[in-house]
Amino acid sequence: MSASPKISRRAFAAGFAFLGFGRRASLAQNFAGLGGDASGFASVMPGKSFEFPRDHGPHPDYRIEWWYLTANLKDSAGERLGVQWTLFRQAIQPGPQRGGWASQQVWMGHAAVTRADTHRHSETFARGGVGQSGVDAYPFHAWIDSWQMRGHDRMSAMNVAPLEVNASSAEFSYMLRLQADKALVLQGDAGYSVKSERGQTSYYYSQPHFTASGTVTIDGKPADVTGLAWMDREWSSQPLASDQTGWDWFSLHLETGEKLMLYRLRQTRGEPYLTGNWIGSDGRPVALSPKTADMIPTSTTEVAGRRLPTGWRIIIRDRGMIIDTVPLNPASWMGTRFSYWEGPVSFAGTHRGVGYLEMTGY
């Protein structure tokens, strides 16, 4: 049980944005369009042995892949803010990799900053093969246009740190330095993330242990910031099933140093499907049993003409957890070509802490 629906969803986001260019259509229709030619891509098999830094780099034989970073920060006045940096890769055709403009790789970058009263986002696109965008495993460097995520000379491949991340748009820019004293975490079964009944899988690892510091400038006003960050790396080739409409996904930093990854997959047939990982303060991940967890929407917000559940109660019985999450900014809408909600949250109850919530398909 892992984050594979999220893979599909995000892959869909990238694929849809490129192939449909902003046309909104139902998930099923697009999926049908994508499904046929998935066969030529490499498949996700159990028992893979990960190798770093090699696997920080791209896996072009797989259809979709991303480098996904979220950060919960505070400025010097104690005001909270969030930062997102994402690079998506998609192969639009299987087969041997071609160079130059003939490359079948297409890249998309998303960046956002969120404060309690503002949310700014930006996106950019690139073809592979000519150098406008790409990822090098060593020395680690992921970039699209001027946005980049770059490893230091002394970067530890297992900790994926230290890193420098930056992005900028007409309205905002940021630069963060990321440190980590714990190794990355393989999600699912040693990085092999199995789906439910539908047989979809991905390779999935995370680095949830980053501490971050740097500068965030919004509308010309710079602020020094510090806080926590979380990076997700996934790649896969399988598409989403036709009845899956979207998901609600949490990555939470507990004050105890523990981390929680939890999501709910909504489907037209049957109950939403819950799954996740509890990462102990020793960095060891334990899969959650769906039967012991609940995600209950508690309040909704009207954003961009649709109603989203922005407040949640999360219950994990075998951990004795009952918490309520509150968004930093309920209007954290990513009005990109494929749009979704992504923003920082905080929570209280039996446990306290901060994290990120992503909601798609609304």
Positions that interact with other proteins (CB under 8 A): 18-19, 21, 92-93, 100-102, 104, 106, 122, 125-127, 130-132, 143, 145-146, 168-171, 173
- Cβ atoms 301, 308 nearer than 8 A: yes
Nearer to other proteins, 32 or 158 (CB): 32
Considering the complex, what minimum distance in angstroms separates the CB of residue 193 from other proteins? 27
Number of alpha helices (DSSP H) and beta strands (DSSP E) in the chain = 2, 23
Considering the complex, what minimum distance in angstroms separates the CB of residue 125 from other proteins? 5
- Residues pairing with 343 in the sheet: 357
Backbone angles phi, psi at 55, to 5 degrees: -75, -5
Nearer to other proteins, 100 or 305 (CB): 100
Nearer to other proteins, 15 or 188 (CB): 15
Considering the complex, what minimum distance in angstroms separates the CB of residue 174 from other proteins? 11
Nearer to other proteins, 36 or 47 (CB): 36
The per-residue DSSP string of 94-144 comes to: -SS---GGG--EEEEEEEEEEESS-EEEEEEEEESSSSSEEEETTTTEEEE
Distance of alpha carbon 51 from alpha carbon 157, whole angstroms:
9
Closest by CA to 254, choosing from 152, 128, 121, 347, is: 347
Amino acid at 294: D
Considering the complex, what minimum distance in angstroms separates the CB of residue 288 from other proteins? 38
Nearer to other proteins, 47 or 96 (CB): 96
Considering the complex, what minimum distance in angstroms separates the CB of residue 142 from other proteins? 13
